[in-house]
Amino acid sequence: MMKKIFLFLFVFSLNANFADAQQTEPFQKGDRIAFTGNSITDGGHYHSYIWLYYMTRFPERKIQIFNAGIGGDATREMARRFDLDVLSRKPNRIFLTFGMNDSGYFEYLQDNADAFAKERVRVSLENYKVIEKKMQALSGVKNVLMTSSPYDETTKGRGNFFPNKSRTMLEIAAFQEKSAKENNWGFIDLNRSMTVLNLEGQKQDSTFTLCGGDRIHPDNDGHLVMAYLILKSQGLAGREVADIQIDAARAAVEKSGNCSITNLKAGDSGVSFDYLARSLPFPVDTVARGWGGKKNASDALKIIPFTEEMNREMLSIKGLKQGSYLLTIDGTEIGKWTAADLNKGINLALEVKTPQYRQAADIMALNEKRWEIERQFRTYSAIQFNFFMERGLLYADDERALDTLRKYAHQNPFFGVEFYQTARFKQVRDGWEKQMNELVNIIYSINKPRKHRIEVLPVE
C-alpha cells in the first residue's frame, strides 16, 4: 500500500511539473538523432533505452540514434567539436544537453563562490551562443534543448558536496528554456523533474538519489527515468503494447488494441486464440551495466509509472467460470491466474517467460552490445577533441600523435595509451562501425512481432 501511495505522489508531482513543458515530436522512420552532451550522455544509457523502446514499440520505424557525448565537456568543448562530431553524422534531430560541467565543482567550497557561479553562467551562455548560431543555421533539423540531470545536494551519506551548485545549474536551465522558446525548439527539463523524484524518494529514504554515488552521474535507474521523461515529452505515455479483451461466455473479441485476434475458441474447456501484436513489450534490464554501475534499470520501476504508462500488454477475459486457469503461449506455461484475475486483466509485458518477451530480450542484448562498441568511439573522440585538437594533431593518428599522448597521458587517466594504440588505425574503427551496423540490421530483422497461440485452460 505504501508503495502505491509513494508512486502516486511521484506521478502527481511529475504531471504537475510537465504541465508547462514544451512537447517534442516522436521520432519517425529514417530519423537520425544525435544526443549531444557530456559524460552523462557519453557513458550513459538513456539514449540507448530510448532506441530500445522504438525498436520494440515501433518495429517498422527504423531510426538511427547517435551518442555524441564526451566526458568532461562544457559548452566550450561542445561548440568546438560541434561540426566535426555532431553535424558530420547528418542528423535531422539534435538533442543538446549541458549544465553539469558548465556550473563547476570545487569552486563552491571557496569564499568567492557566488562570484564564481555568476561567471560560470556568463561563460556557459557565451559559449552556448556559438552552438545556438550553428543550430539556427541548420536546414531541416529539429532541435531540442535539455537541461542536465540534477546535481543532488539533498541526498545524505554521499561525498562530492558542493553547496549551491544546483542553484547555478537552474540559472543555466533558465537560459536554455528561454532559447528554446525564442527559437521554437523543443525543451525538456530533466533537472526539475528528477529533483522532484529525488525529494519525494528522500522522504522515505534520506540516502535515495537518482544521481549516482557521486551526486552527478545517474546510475542505470536514473537513465531509465531520463528516457521515460524524454519519451513522455514525445506524448508516448499511454501507448499500449497491446490490449486484448475477450468475452468467453459469448466467444467474442471485445477489443484488439494494437493487435489482431483470430481463430478464437471459447467454452467450458477454456479459451484459445491466435495473437499477433504490432509491438513487443519493453524488456527492462535487471543487470547493472556501464562503468561503475551499481543499480539496474528495473530499480526505476519503483520510482516512475513506466509500466503503467508505457509497457502494458494487457489480456482480459471475462465470463470465465470461477476457478484457476493455466495460461500457455505456443505450448509454454506462463503462469496460473484465477478467473477474477483474468477478468481484471493481467499484464503480459511483465511475464518474462512469454515468447514475445524473450524476443524483446534478444533485441535488448544486441542493443547493449551495440552500445558497448559505440562507447569505444566516444573514448576515441574524447582523445581527439580534448587532447589532440589543441595540439594541432586532430585525426593525425600517426607515430607523432602516439608519442605525444604517451608523454602527457599521465595528466588524464581517461586518455589510455593502450586503447589509442589500437583505436588510431582506421581499419579497426571501420571494423567497429561494421559491427554496429550489422547489429542494428540484425535487430531490425528480428524485431517484428510473431503470431502466437494463446490458451487459457481450467486447472483441475
pLDDT tens digits for range 14-67: 554 554 455 899 999 999 999 999 999 999 999 999 999 999 999 999 999 999
pLDDT tier at 1, thresholds 50, 70, 90: very low
Residue found by looking up cell 529514504 in the block: 205
Mean pLDDT of the chain: 94
Q: Average of pLDDT values for 70-81?
A: 98
Q: Using the predicted structure, report yes or no on whether residue 276 has a pLDDT greater than 90.
A: yes
At 23 the pLDDT is: 84
At 11 the pLDDT is: 54
CA 423, 426, 427, 433 dihedral sign is positive
Q: Average of pLDDT values for 157-177?
A: 94
Measured distance CA(123)–CA(113) in Å, rounded: 15
- Model confidence, pTM: 0.95
Residues paired with 65 in a beta bridge:
33
Question: 56 with 231: CB under 8 angstroms?
Answer: no
Q: Which amino acid is at 188?
A: I
Q: And the C-alpha cell for 385?
A: 577533441
Question: 257 with 431: CB under 8 angstroms?
Answer: no
At 2 the pLDDT is: 41
Of residues 456 and 292, the one with the higher pLDDT is: 456
Of these ranges, 17-26, 146-155, 289-298, the one predicted with the greatest mean pLDDT is 146-155
Intra-chain end-to-end CA distance of the chain, in Å:
33
At 13 the pLDDT is: 54
DSSP reduced 3-state for 370: helix
At 410 the pLDDT is: 86
Q: Average of pLDDT values for 128-146?
A: 98
Among candidates 200, 178, 192, 199, which has minimal Cα distance to 147?
A: 192
Q: Using the predicted structure, report yes or no on whether residue 172 has a pLDDT greater than 90.
A: yes
Q: Using the predicted structure, report yes or no on whether residue 322 has a pLDDT greater than 70.
A: yes
**Beta-carbon neighbour count of residue 111 at 10 Å?**
7
How much of the chain, in percent, has pLDDT values that exceed 90? 90
Q: Average of pLDDT values for 251-270?
A: 96
At 19 the pLDDT is: 44
Q: Average of pLDDT values for 417-436?
A: 97
Write out pLDDT tens, residues 176-231. 999 999 999 999 999 999 999 999 999 999 999 999 999 999 999 999 999 999 99
At 10 the pLDDT is: 54
At 126 the pLDDT is: 98
Write out pLDDT tens, residues 327-350. 999 999 999 999 999 999 999 999
Q: Which amino acid is at 339?
A: A
Measured distance CA(55)–CA(91) in Å, rounded: 19
Instruction: Provide the 8-state DSSP code for 84.
Output: I
At 20 the pLDDT is: 46
Question: 142 with 93: CB under 8 angstroms?
Answer: yes
Q: Kindly give the pairing relationship between strand 259-267 and strand 32-37.
A: unpaired
H or E stretch covering 169:
helix 165-183
Q: Using the predicted structure, report yes or no on whether residue 394 has a pLDDT greater than 50.
A: yes
